[in-house]
């Protein structure tokens, strides 16, 4: 069995699409996953599966969520091995997030097009720095310089792929 994390997109944000964590655990169990836990209320589900096909796992999760809840919930799934590499590949070493500066990881469901780096370079500003590595985009956000907060929707539209974003602290804590 392989241990995974499913990052579910846009649940329990701003009082919308509310799903209790015990409901998520039950739905993952009904889908055949094992040793299921959740971390905080934003749709982080840790589980085990005999499958090694993350695209198939994502599709299975999304189908189960739509059937049970009546609305689509995109899922971005990573193995614990991939999660470890994501933390080790942080392109902003030595930066300690605080109230003024944050590091986010946007988990992409698929690898974006060949022009993704060019698109991200065009988004760079004094407030935000982007770095792509495969199916992850790392964002360094300087809140004091921002006119508007970083938006996952904006990133999805620019890259043309489903994504969901977590801060670096959450990324590390799901592995504990």
Residue-wise pLDDT for 28-68, tens only, equals 999 999 999 999 888 899 999 999 999 999 999 999 999 99
Of the two residues 157 and 10, the one the predictor is more confident about is 157
Residue for token digits 């599709």? Answer: 59
Q: How far apart are CA 18 and CA 8, in angstroms?
A: 12
151 Cβ neighbours under 8 A, 6+ residues apart: none
Residue pair 144/175 in contact by the 8 Å Cβ criterion: no
Q: How far apart are CA 34 and CA 2, in angstroms?
A: 10
97 Cβ neighbours under 8 A, 6+ residues apart: 103, 167, 168, 169
Model confidence pTM above 0.85:
yes
pLDDT band at 147 (very low <50, low <70, confident <90, very high): low
pLDDT for res 15: 64
Facing residues of 128 across strands?
A: 141
Dihedral pair phi/psi, residue 33, rounded to 5°:
-80, 160
Residue for token digits 């996953």? Answer: 33
Average pLDDT across the chain, whole number: 91
pLDDT for res 19: 87
Residue-wise pLDDT for 66-88, tens only, equals 999 998 999 999 999 999 999 99
pLDDT for res 17: 78
Q: How far apart are CA 67 and CA 46, in angstroms?
A: 21
Residue-wise pLDDT for 105-130, tens only, equals 999 999 999 999 999 999 888 889 99
């Amino acid at each position: 069995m392989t241990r995974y994390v499913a990052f579910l997109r846009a649940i329990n944000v701003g009082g919308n699409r509310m799903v209790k964590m015990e409901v998520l655990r039950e739905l993952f169990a009904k889908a055949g996953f094992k040793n299921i836990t959740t971390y905080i209320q934003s749709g982080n589900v840790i589980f085990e599966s005999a499958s090694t096909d993350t695209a198939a796992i994502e599709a299975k999760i999304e189908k189960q969520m739509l059937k049970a809840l009546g609305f689509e919930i995109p899922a971005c799934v990573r193995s614990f091995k991939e999660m470890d590499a994501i933390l080790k590949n942080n392109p902003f070493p030595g930066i300690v997030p605080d109230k003024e500066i944050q590091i986010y990881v946007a988990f992409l469901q698929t690898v974006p097009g060949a022009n993704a780096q060019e698109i991200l370079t065009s988004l760079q500003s004094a407030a935000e720095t982007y770095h792509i590595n495969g199916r992850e985009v790392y964002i360094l956000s300087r809140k004091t310089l921002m006119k508007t907060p970083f938006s996952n929707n904006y990133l999805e539209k620019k890259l043309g792929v489903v994504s969901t974003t977590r801060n670096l602290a959450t990324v590390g804590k799901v592995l504990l």
